[in-house]
Amino acid sequence: MDYDIIIVGAGILGLSSAYYLQKNNPNKRILIIEKEGGIAQGETAKAVGMFRNIFTSYTNRLLADTSINFYIHIQKEVMDINLKFDKYLWLVSKEQFERFSSIIESMITSKEIKILEREELRKIKGMNLDVESDEEAKIMGLKNIYKGLLGLKCGSLDQHLLARYYKEQFENLGGEIQFHTKVNRLIIAPKKKLGISKEPFVWQDSRVAGVLTNKGEMYADKIILATGALTNELLDPIGIDSHMKPKKRQVFQIQDSHLNELLNIEGFNDEGTIPFTILPKSGIYMRPVKGEKSFWIGCADDLGRSFSLDTTPEEDFYYYNIYPVLIKYFPQFTNLRVKNLWAGLYAYNTIDGMPYIFEKYGVIVVTGCSGSGLMKADAIGRIVDGLYRGEEFVRLYGNLNFRVSDIGVEKRNVDREEFLL
Amino acid sequence: MDYDIIIVGAGILGLSSAYYLQKNNPNKRILIIEKEGGIAQGETAKAVGMFRNIFTSYTNRLLADTSINFYIHIQKEVMDINLKFDKYLWLVSKEQFERFSSIIESMITSKEIKILEREELRKIKGMNLDVESDEEAKIMGLKNIYKGLLGLKCGSLDQHLLARYYKEQFENLGGEIQFHTKVNRLIIAPKKKLGISKEPFVWQDSRVAGVLTNKGEMYADKIILATGALTNELLDPIGIDSHMKPKKRQVFQIQDSHLNELLNIEGFNDEGTIPFTILPKSGIYMRPVKGEKSFWIGCADDLGRSFSLDTTPEEDFYYYNIYPVLIKYFPQFTNLRVKNLWAGLYAYNTIDGMPYIFEKYGVIVVTGCSGSGLMKADAIGRIVDGLYRGEEFVRLYGNLNFRVSDIGVEKRNVDREEFLL
């Protein structure tokens, strides 16, 4: 056994986990193995790169808030990760506002959000607040914009730079990464080998002892899967439930000079753009990317979209499902075509929308972040380390204590997240 | 729309659901569709046909106990379903006995089980209580039998006869069944149709409205999936999580005159056999089938066995995984070969081992029974009906009230089952 810990996956969660593991277990030999040729080239690369501390779940808010605080610390004290407070703008209907009134109230109190009244929203030129006067929009079930909720500690960062931060910290502590190493399956071995062929048998006490890769077998005291939406490919064959379903999510880039007025609005953020904006329907969101004079647009599709590993982007999806809604609120997008598009996979936890971090049969699994792993990666890395060390509580950034089992399987104790995008 | 309710699957759960739905909604037109040519030909047919009210989960005990009471009522008052109190005999090690001592205590108090001391167990001729004196058994980690737990309200019934009972009741009330009808996929439709091609779109409010079968499209006000371990095949493509993983479980028939002494023991049950017996290791169980002078043998394999729809029985599985343990406790099986074998699928809920009965996007799903659906089928059928009617509580047999949402997803309130076989 050459390594104490093998982490599968050099995405943001694998890297942050690796860093805290190496930091708190300095005598352990830790190896990350990654199928791609570099870090953060899987789902991390496809993420929209936004962060927010606005969630309905208390635990989610906590995990994001402490992680964002840590990212701010990195940006200020350590290195540029291109962290910017673009802010989030939820455009909500009256019904939505009333439905979430108690949580909105608490976020106003804690100064996490600011309410924007309709008069203030009118400074977003060309935005149509009153879609219900449009017959077509009415038939489509679109609602007038009643208020805006401006998330203040929300913005964007460069996930590649953040990933590089964790990688460098990990390597500085002596951690190793091996690229182009794909895990084909997990290896199960009995804790006490009998030396009989066909081991392990059902009556033996067994555990996940290693990985079979394209470069051969590798064994470690502990295997950690930070394989996101691909986790079922490794766990299903050995009968461990990841509690996660993979689902395609697409991003469409629209680039046009008609969008300039949205990309040049003073008063919301330092960039002078409209914030990252979420429409009142279907979780349709638009991220302004001023440098490329474009918007990245996506939506929180649900029913009718399969759980699968398909990542083929579908241009038609934009025209049928997003465009008709988008142009009612933002007529600037009328007739604009998709310039570029890509699709990634959400590791979707359908039960409570929160991450799963648990150990079973000797393998530690971190998955199920449901599209908001990047903004919780720091907390998650610390929790993975705490789980490895068998700690009941782990210290998150800012000296917050978090009970490790709360985010596990058997003693899970989280409230359901309703703001999934 | 020709039917109010379409139930997919004429297994025991589809049939019991159909009966209670038709009984309590007499004006609704209800249709069961089934891919096979008759009822109970899928997983129901492959079940070992045992029932027990001995579980660690209070909810599981409740669901089984009330269902068993109803089956006793059928056997006594309505028709022969070949219900017999064969009894269950858990042979437990000292560690197991101590680990479950509090639950054992409560089951003794409620007179559900009787403790058999080692002296009493010796009347089972040829059984070896003290395996630890055997060097090989010791290496295998086998433990001496410390006590026996005899489950009294436990036994066997003919699931085909029980299925026929529900079918006849359902049909007597006017319910219909259509065989040779295989559902290829669920049909999603917007609640308000716009008449545009490519409907439904993401921005429409949609629901599961029908099924596409080998005989064409069929629509109903409500679709109910009683498709057990095959549920993911229908739900994954539309992005609804069943919360269930399918897993192969095998049964091996051993028939030999050496087993006669076990099939002829007075004092346990009316049949004069050893009870349905569970060994202290790996959930290995043996069901005596006196009429065919054989035992049906299986085990609760876990780690290393895939979640999949594979149902190929593997004869070697018996020789490698069951036989070495079995012969240490029951040397009568030494050198006996497998006469027959079959495999079915467990609809395995890995989180709490309990059924899931929930509605999402207009489809009602009943699955996740984890191998003990038959013995809870009556309660489950009543709960499905209660969920359909939007009741908070449903009346189980014996006038027990059960909160429908306890066994659902969002407000789930069950304790984890640890006695899975």
Q: What is the pLDDT of residues B37-49, one digit of tens each?
A: 999 999 999 999 9
Whether residue B263 is found in the same domain as residue B308:
yes
Peptide bond into A200 cis (omega under 30): yes
Å between A77 CA and nearest CA of chain B: 43
Residue B128 lies in a domain: yes
B301 touches chain A (CB under 8 A): yes
What pLDDT, on the 0 to 100 scale, is given for residue A155?
97
With tokens 């909105």, the residue in question is: A104
* pLDDT of residue B376 exceeding 70: yes
Rounded to 5 degrees, what are φ and ψ at A76? -80, -40
Contact between residue A157 and residue A82 where contact means Cβ atoms under 8 Å apart: yes
Restricting to B residues 101-140, those with a Cβ less than 8 Å away from any Cβ of A are 139-140
Q: Render pLDDT for B394-410 as a digit per residue (tens, 0 to 9).
A: 999 999 999 999 999 99
Please give the pLDDT value at position A419: 86
Is A303's CB within 8 Å of B206's CB?
yes
Give the model confidence (pLDDT) of B212-234 as tens digits.
Answer: 999 999 999 999 999 999 999 99
Question: Which residues in chain A touch residue B416, judged by CB atoms under 8 angstroms apart?
Answer: 410
pLDDT value of position A176: 98
Residues of A in contact with B202 (CB under 8 A): 282, 299, 301-302, 321-322
Last residue of a domain, one of A304, A323, A348: A348
Say yes or no to pLDDT of A330 above 70: yes
Q: Find the domain containing A179 and state its range.
A: 3-50+160-244+351-407
DSSP assignments along A51-67, one per residue? E----SSHHHHHHHHHH
Same domain, B42 and B107: no
Radius of gyration for the alpha carbons in chain B, expressed in angstroms and rounded: 22
Name the B residues in 262-281 with CB < 8 Å from any A CB.
281
Rounded to whole angstroms, the Cα distance separating A375 from A83 reads 12
Distance CA(A70)–CA(A49), nearest Å, equals: 16
Which amino acid, one-letter code, is at B267? G
Evaluate if residue A49 carries a pLDDT over 80: yes
Phi-psi domain of B283 (left: phi exceeds 0; alpha: psi -120 through 50; beta: other)? left
| Length of chain A counted residue by residue | 421
- Residues of chain A in contact with residue B139, where contact means CB-CB under 8 angstroms, are 194
Can you say whether the dihedral through the CA atoms of A195, A200, A203, A207 is positive or negative?
A: positive
Considering the domain architecture, whether residues B252 and B323 belong to the same structural domain is answered as: yes
Give the percent of chain A with pLDDT over 90. 97
- The pLDDT of residue B250: 97
ipTM score assigned to the predicted complex: 0.94
Look at residue B420 and tell me if it is in a domain. no
Q: Is residue B38 part of a domain?
A: yes
Pair of tokens at residue A93 = 């209907």
Least-confidence region, from A9-18, A300-309, B126-135, B236-245:
A300-309
Q: How far apart are CA B13 and CA B9, in angstroms?
A: 8
Mean pLDDT across the stretch A331-343? 98
In 3D space, the residue among B35, B26, B29 whose CA is nearest the CA of residue B5 turns out to be B29
The mean pLDDT value for A47-74 works out to 96
**Nearest-angstrom CA–CA distance, A26 and B195:** 64
Largest CA distance in chain A: 77
Residues B139, B262, single domain; the answer is yes
Is the predicted pLDDT of residue A53 greater than 70, yes or no?
yes
Q: What is the CATH number of the domain that holds A9?
A: 3.50.50.60
- Cα–Cα distance for residue pair A348/A247, rounded to 1 Å: 7
Residues A84 and A71: their CA atoms lie apart, in Å, by 11
For residues A57 and A159, is the Cβ–Cβ distance under 8 A?
A: no
Q: Per residue in A409-420, pLDDT tens?
A: 999 999 999 888
Strands (E), A173-261: 176-178, 183-190, 206-213, 216-225, 245-255
From chain B, the residues in CB contact with A324 under 8 A are: 201, 203
- Please state, in angstroms and rounded to a whole number, the distance separating the CA atoms of residues B288 and B276: 6
- Percent of chain A whose predicted confidence (pLDDT) is above 70: 100
Same domain, B286 and B139: yes
pLDDT confidence of B99, banded at 50, 70, 90? very high
Question: d(Cα A318, Cα A298) in Å, to the nearest integer?
Answer: 8
Q: Are B142 and A203 inside 8 Å of each other by CB? A: yes
A309 and A237, same structural domain? Answer: no
pLDDT at A2 > cutoff 80: yes
> Would the CB atoms of A304 and B188 count as touching at under 8 Å?
yes
Instruction: Evaluate the CA torsion angle A182, A184, A187, A188 in order and state its sign.
Output: positive
Residues B145 and B263 grouped into a single domain: yes
Residues 177-236, chain A: which have Cβ within 8 Å of B?
A: 188, 192, 194, 198, 200-207, 236
Distances (CA, A) of A268 to A124, A298, B57: 10, 21, 54
Closest CA to B337 of B211, B253, B229: B253
- Global confidence as pTM: 0.95
pLDDT band at B382 (very low <50, low <70, confident <90, very high): very high
Q: Does residue A187 register a pLDDT over 90?
A: yes
Q: Which residues of A touch B134 (CB under 8 A)?
A: none
* pLDDT of residue A68 exceeding 90: yes
Q: Peptide bond before B200: cis, by omega within 30 degrees of 0?
A: yes
SS3 readout for chain B: CCEEEEEECCCHHHHHHHHHHHHHCCCCCEEEECCCCCCCCCHHHHCCCEECCCCCCHHHHHHHHHHHHHHHHHHHHHCCCCCECCCEEEEECHHHHHHCHHHHHHHHHCCCEEEECHHHHCCCCCCCCCHHHCHHHHHCCCCCCCEEEEECCCEECCHHHHHHHHHHHHHHCCCEEECCCCEEEEEEEECCCCCCCCCCCCCCCEEEEEEEECCEEEEEEEEEECCHHHHHHHHHHHCCCCCCEEEEEEEEEEECHHHHHHHCCCCCCCCCCCCEEECCCCCCEEEEEHHHCEEEEECCCCCCCCECCCCCCCHHHHHHHHHHHHHHHCHHHCCCCCCEEEEEEEEECCCCCCCEEEEECCEEEEECCCCCCHHHHHHHHHHHHHHHCCCCEEEECCCEEEEHHHHCCCCCCCCCCCCCC
Q: Distance between CA atoms of A342 and A354, rounded to whole angstroms?
A: 24
Closest by CA to B182, choosing from B389, B382, B33, B348, is B33
Q: Same domain, yes or no, for B174 and B228? A: yes
Name the minimum distance, in Å, from the CA of B321 to any CA of chain A: 5
Q: What are the backbone dihedrals phi and psi of residue A132, each rounded to the nearest 5 degrees, phi first?
A: -65, -15
Q: Are B86 and B151 in contact (CB under 8 A)?
A: no
For residues A259 and A277, give the distance between their C-alpha atoms in angstroms, rounded to a whole number: 14
Cα–Cα distance for residue pair B386/B382, rounded to 1 Å: 6
CB contact under 8 A, B140 and A198: no
Residues on chain B touching A236 (C-beta within 8 angstroms): 245, 306-308
Distance (Å) from the C-alpha of residue A43 to the closest C-alpha of chain B? 19
By the 8 A CB rule, do B244 and B231 touch? yes
Domain co-membership, A29 together with A16: yes
Helix (H) or strand (E) holding A105: helix A101-109
Residue A179 in domain: yes
Same domain (yes/no): B397, B267: no
Give a yes or no: residue A64 inside a domain. no
- The token pair that represents B212 in the structure block: 């596409």
Within-domain flag for B235 = yes
| Residues B206, A141: C-beta atoms closer than 8 Å | no
The per-residue pLDDT for B344 is 96
Residue contact A203–B307, C-beta within 8 A: no
From the list B28, B62, B157, the residue with the least C-alpha distance to B165 is B157
Using the 3D structure, point to which of B332, B348, B364 is the last residue of a domain. B348
CB-CB contact of B189 with B221 (8 Å):
no
Interface contact B245, partner A, CB < 8 A: yes
Q: How far is it, in rounded angstroms, from Cα A88 to Cα A55? A: 12
Mean pLDDT throughout A386-415? 96
pLDDT for B1 = 59
Checking if the pLDDT of B375 tops 70, the result is yes
Reported as a single tens digit per residue, the pLDDT across A230-284 is 999 999 999 999 999 999 999 999 999 999 999 999 999 999 999 999 999 999 9
Q: Encode B177-211: b = buried (16+ Cβ within 10 Å), e = exposed.
A: beeebebeebbbbbeeeeeeeeebbbbbebbbbbb
- pLDDT band per the 50, 70, 90 thresholds, residue B302: confident
Check if the beta carbon of residue B415 is closer than 8 Å to that of residue B58: yes
3 state SS of A78: helix
Q: Is there a domain that residue B83 lies in? A: no
Which member of A239, A306, A322 has the closest CB to residue B302?
A239
Residue at a domain's end among A298, A314, A348? A348
- C-alpha torsion angle, residues B157, B163, B168, B171 (rounded to 10): 160
A208 and A340 assigned to the same domain:
no
Query: Per the structure block, which two tokens stand in for A303?
Result: 């029913």
Residues B166 and B129 both lie in one domain:
no
| Cβ distance of B409 and A324 shorter than 8 Å | no
Q: How far apart are CA B367 and CA B386, in angstroms?
A: 16
**Residues pairing with A189 in the sheet:** A207
Rounded to 10 deg, the angle between the B377-388 and B12-24 helix axes is: 50
User: At A339, which CATH number?
Assistant: 3.30.9.10
Each residue's pLDDT tens digit, B51-88:
999 999 999 999 999 999 999 999 999 999 999 999 99
| Closest Cβ–Cβ partner in B237, B302, B304 for A306 | B237
The pLDDT of residue B89:
98
Q: Which residue has the tokens 């934009």?
A: A318
- Which among A206, A247, A307 is the nearest to B303, CB-wise? A206
Q: Of B88, B271, B80, nearest to B157 (Cα)?
A: B80
Q: How far apart are CA B310 and CA B229, in angstroms?
A: 11
| Residue B415 placed within a domain | no
The band of A1, judged by pLDDT with boundaries at 50, 70 and 90, is: low
Whole-angstrom distance, CA of residue A318 vs CA of residue A299: 9
Task: Verify whether the Cβ–Cβ distance A303 to B245 is below 8 Å.
Answer: no
Sorting pLDDT into bands at 50, 70 and 90, what band is B421? confident
CB B234 within 8 A of CB B15: no
Contact list, B321 vs chain A (CB under 8 Å): 201-203
Q: Can you tell me the distance from the alpha carbon of A346 to that of A195, in angstroms, rounded to the nearest whole number?
A: 42
Neighbours of A109 (CB within 10 A): 9
Task: Say whether A175 sits in a helix, a strand or coil.
Answer: coil
State the total domains in chain B: 2
CA distance A349 to A355: 7
* Contact list, A243 vs chain B (CB under 8 Å): 350-351
Could you give the 3-state DSSP secondary structure of residue A16? helix
Q: Is the pLDDT of residue A174 over 70?
A: yes
